[in-house]
Amino acid sequence: MSLKLPITMPKVYGYKHHALPLSVITQEEQGVNWMLNNYLQLYTRYGWMQDSHWLEFYLTHNILDLPHNPFLHVQKIKLDLIKDMDLSVLFRNALENETYIYAWYDPKFFESNNPGLSINNFLVYGFDEDRKKFNILDYDYNKSHQLSQMEIGFEEMNQSINNLAFPEDWSTHLYFISLKKRIAYTFDYVLASQLLQDYINAEKTVNRLRMNVDRSIADDAVFGIKVYDSLLACLEMQLENDKHLSLLPFQILYEHKQCILLLVRFLNRHYQINEELSLEIMNTTLAFRNMIMKYFLTQDNKIIRNIMSKIPRLIEIETNNIESILHAIQNESTISLSRL
């Protein structure tokens, strides 16, 4: 017997804690709309000298920890409760009941182990009982380094999860997730307006929602358009040979502009917003990402200086673009607010 639950490749894929749940949620048009409604704010999760994952989308919670998830039923099980179980049986039963598994694993137990990898995460979405293989969504760390649909053996799965050694502050859970049968989600114009205003004004969205947010966000975290200051500082330091540069923030920046473009296309069902500006901004950040990849090969500082010279103009164009989006949805937001 074999079985595969449906998944889709999400537009936000730089971080797997976004990409894996979104691969389930964004199968539905309403799920795509939810993503466009929520992935509009950026912030510095860490200082850029501390961690390469410093640039991040701002959500009040990780998707799987949302208190009222409009799309997913989420069940968490502590790993200690199922330690040394045959997870292949548990996972097959879950999949047969239309339930995906989001799990942490230790890649050193994989046959195709990449020695540079530490504890990681994947989504299990299918299995082939005859071949004793699970279907997983994960980065292909050995070849393409892209989010890919791959296979892993039953025994590899058991070993890689049952032998995990988590740091003390990590959440040691398996997540079992399934799509809700009845999904009712309406695009929230007020939320979109608030997040876009926070973005161009560099407002700390965390302060808007203090009752519901993660207190671990640093007081000096930078939000919105000001993240470009951190990007410029990081690039400037790279010119001084202080090797803090990573492709990740450029990938996240590109994904954010992609979300803005998709938002404009969604809004243009009812409005007339200039799509060309959003497309230009997205293509500029895509070019930045590709230039950084070239820099890693050549170590040519002219590439860094070229990016830095283009950022002030990008900020100007992006501010004007978001102001035009806000103007276009202002009437809809006002109507929605009057109903609260």
How confident is the model over 178-231, as pLDDT tens digits?
A: 999 888 789 999 999 999 999 999 999 988 765 455 556 777 899 999 999 999
Run of H or E residues at 156: helix 154-162
The length of the chain, given as a count of residues: 340
Domain count across the chain: 2
State whether 295 and 219 are in the same domain.
yes
Domain housing 215: 189-338
State whether 169 and 203 are in the same domain.
no
State whether 147 and 18 are in the same domain.
yes
Residue type, 151: E
Is it the case that residue 336 has pLDDT exceeding 50?
no
pLDDT in tens, 90-139: 999 999 999 999 999 888 877 766 655 678 899 999 999 999 999 999 99
Is 108 contained in some domain?
yes
Is 51 contained in some domain?
no
**Buried-exposed string 143-170: b where 16+ CB fall within 10 A, e elsewhere:** eeeebebbebbbebbbbbbbebeeeeee
Q: Are 90 and 134 in contact (CB under 8 A)?
A: no
Higher per-residue pLDDT: 244 or 231: 231
State whether 219 and 317 are in the same domain.
yes
Q: Are 135 and 124 in contact (CB under 8 A)?
A: yes
Secondary structure of residue 291 in the 3-state scheme: helix
Phi, psi of 332 (to 5 degrees): -65, -40
Model's pTM, two decimal places?
0.91
Query: Rounded CA gap, 47 and 245, in Å?
Result: 12
State whether 194 and 165 are in the same domain.
no
State whether 194 and 258 are in the same domain.
yes
